[in-house]
Structure 1
Amino acid sequence: MSSTTIPLSVLDIASVDSAGGPVAALTGTRELAAAADELGYERFWVAEHHSLHGIASSVPAVLLAAIGERTERIRVGAGGVILPNHAPYAVAESFGTLATLFPGRVDLGIGRSGADPVLAHALRRAPNEEFSESLGELLAFLGDGFPDGHPYQRLEALPRPPAAPRVWSLGASVRSAAEAGRRGLPYAFAHHFFNSRGTQEALAAYRDGFRPSRWADRPHAIVTVFTVCGETSEQARRLAYPALFPVLRLNGASPAVPLPTAAEAEAYTWADTERAAADALLASQAVGDPDEVRRALSDLLERTGADELMITNNVTDVKEKIRSLERVRALAPSLPAPGHATA
């Protein structure tokens, strides 16, 4: 991509539907990553989720090892690791290993969002609720180092890769954006959360408070957006609707079961109020035919001045997911330049 073309990246969660199961989901994620690599996407991230039957990406580092082997150029990373679930030293070792296996192309996105107390105990027994302190420890293990007299000063997170993984701060609030700026970290805002608010305010707070660091000499903001680019608007919505079932609790859907397939969602008898609620959730995202998606992404870029767009969705048909990637990639030259905000 030229410097005037917005970089495009991909976030995936290995969505599981009632027909395919987790094997199909994880196989599909690797296939999607290989396609994104060939299409020239900037990076491919997977997210950490637990105890959800509709998501198979519970251990990003393991999945990224498989993705790294299937790709050649694209940066691979976590979007992200939920730091309260893990000891910072263990995260530094895991991603140092990945960065040793795949030099110069590993990202480590760090999120704050925690699990319920029982799950938190199962994951880490005694989770550290001081997120800022844990993040500081992780950055120290990855290269900042500890001050003299610190109890961890003599420890090294090994193997030490040729280049440290690039650390990103993830969030969906002004608070997370301000902390990312204060620490001099690149930042990714989760606009793709349905009913997401405050994207512009968060990115403004990030830029206003940014202080250069060893991790970034200037602010770099990704906006992640739920994107399904179909051949037609109707097809795109048909592919997108299954993701809304657990959000709206349609037909009793819950995290305890996999997502419905597109055919199952289409067969569901939608009440007018349910259809209206579904369309309202998609209104702030980018779902439709190529022209609709171009307008939605352009509007988001104009409002936020994002330096990069990261697209994501819960579509479980990997062939349709790749076709959506192809259509979005073809739109890139027509989108506003990175960092260009008009409001």
Structure 2
Amino acid sequence: MKAINKNDLSGTKYSVLDLVPIVEGVDAKQAIKRSVDLAQNTEKLGYHRFWISEHHNMESLASSAPVILIGHIAQQTTRMRIGSGGVMLPNHAPLVVAEQFGTLATMYPDRIDLGLGRAPGTDQRTAMALRRYQQETVQDFPNNIDELQTYLSEENSTAPVRATPGEGLNIPLYLLGSSTFSAQLAGRKGLPYAFASHFAPTHLHNALKLYHQHFEASEQLERPYTMACVNVIAAATDEEAERLATSAKRFMLGVIRNTRKPLSPPVDSMDGEWSELERMQIEQMMHYSFIGSQETVAKGLAQFKAETQIDELIIISHIYDHQARLKSYELVSEIFTR
């Protein structure tokens, strides 16, 4: 195999985002089992962290209860950081989040991350069911973060409402976003910022710029720290990877059609699968997708790093076959470790 020049990726951490996908022919229990296996394998491959998303009312994803999954995966791994990518904070009371992650951090010290997002992770009707019809204002998310930080602080020890466990624990917070709002907020609060470029690439560069412009050092973070999630499908050849990628494209097609069924097997061609408009929409959504052989993916990731100067790449791989998915993560890890 041709050697990969990793100089452009030197010093870049690499991590995993897992949506706990349910593929055709596999139930939720098996999907969770596969996610545990993925975590164990990527830990051996040197991945820095393993994040679980929060999604609701989707038969294609088994990630509606990320806190439970984080504990389950942390129990069956030893080194890798495990966390949320992220907890959709508007769906939860800050005190509950502080208690839940305080419990996780007590059980698995120095291994738990708390990534926070402001989207519901679902459709509006389900969001109302989760929030009991509470209407969110523009200030609710910043205020909820402040409240959460208060519960996790040592200074809250004399307050009438406290998080036990949770209070005084060193649980790092991360802000997730796909817009400039969260970027500016993360900067002002001095928190690491992770951009969802795997499905919402439009504002990536502006968001990173604004994050750096608004950054103020905090107790958690002295200097800016940026992360970006990208789609990666690596295989032995470009042709094989492109075929595997049709599952991801069909998954995205279900998103825009609102027919979010389990991840389907790959097909030889997308011809007849989508309209021209749908093809353009999905190609826009998947703009930051790196599909191909190890050499092809390495070049793409190195260029992405050069353009963004991010500190950490978060890899998501929508691949139908579990072994092919594991192989993709293995090929990617070699890009960073050679």
Fold shared by both chains (TM-score > 0.5): yes
Q: What residue in structure 1 maps to residue 181 of structure 2?
A: 175
CA positional deviation for 1:246: 4.2
Q: Is the 8 A contact 1:190 1:225 kept in 2?
A: yes
Question: Does residue 84 in structure 1 map to residue 90 in structure 2?
Answer: yes
Spell out the pairing of 1:134-145 with structure 2 (5 A cutoff).
Answer: 134-143=144-153, 145=155
Q: What residue in structure 2 maps to residue 125 of structure 1?
A: 132
Q: Is the 8 A contact 1:222 1:309 kept in 2?
A: yes
Q: Is the 8 A contact 1:229 1:289 kept in 2?
A: yes
TM normalised by structure 1 equals: 0.87
Question: Does residue 187 in structure 1 map to residue 165 in structure 2?
Answer: no
Q: What residue in structure 1 maps to residue 65 of structure 2?
A: 59
Q: Distance in 2 between matches of 1:25 and 1:248?
A: 21
Question: Does residue 206 in structure 1 map to residue 211 in structure 2?
Answer: yes
Spell out the pairing of 1:240-255 with structure 2 (5 A cutoff).
Answer: 240-249=245-254, 254-255=259-260
Q: Distance in 1 between matches of 2:135 and 2:149?
A: 16
Structure 1 pair 269–21 and aligned structure 2 pair: CA distance change class (3 A): farther
1:182-204 deviation per Cα after TM superposition (whole angstroms, max 9, x unaligned): 001111011111x5112121111
Q: Is the 8 A contact 2:251 2:264 kept in 1?
A: no
Q: Distance in 1 between matches of 2:225 and 2:321?
A: 32
Corresponding letter in the other structure for 2:176: L
1:1-60 deviation per Cα after TM superposition (whole angstroms, max 9, x unaligned): 999431100000011112112122111100000011111111000000000011111110
Corresponding letter in the other structure for 2:131: R
Q: What residue in structure 2 maps to residue 166 of structure 1?
A: 172
SS in 2 for 1:10: strand
Q: 2:51 aligns with which of 40, 45, 67?
A: 45
Q: Is the 8 A contact 2:10 2:336 kept in 1?
A: no
Q: What residue in structure 1 maps to residue 3 of structure 2?
A: none
Q: 1:310 aligns with which of 286, 291, 314?
A: 314
CA positional deviation for 1:299: 1.3
CA positional deviation for 1:313: 2.0
Q: Distance in 1 between matches of 2:111 and 2:229?
A: 20
- Percent identical: 34
Q: Distance in 1 between matches of 2:314 and 2:329?
A: 11
**Which sits farther off after the overlay, 54-63 or 231-240?**
231-240
Q: Distance in 1 between matches of 2:310 and 2:256?
A: 37
Q: Is the 8 A contact 1:191 1:223 kept in 2?
A: yes
CA positional deviation for 1:273: 3.5
TM normalised by structure 2 equals: 0.88
SS in 1 for 2:248: helix
Q: How many residues align?
A: 327
Spell out the pairing of 1:148-297 with structure 2 (5 A cutoff).
Answer: 153-160=159-166, 163-193=169-199, 196-249=201-254, 254-255=259-260, 257-262=261-266, 269-270=272-273, 273=276, 277=280, 281-297=285-301
Gaps of at least 5 residues in structure 2 are: 1-5
Corresponding letter in the other structure for 1:331: I
Task: Give the RMSD, CA atoms, in angstroms.
Answer: 2.8
Q: 1:35 aligns with which of 23, 37, 41?
A: 41
SS in 2 for 1:215: coil
Question: Does residue 22 in structure 1 map to residue 28 in structure 2?
Answer: yes
Structure 1 pair 113–26 and aligned structure 2 pair: CA distance change class (3 A): same
1:95-126 deviation per Cα after TM superposition (whole angstroms, max 9, x unaligned): 11111111001000000112444322322325
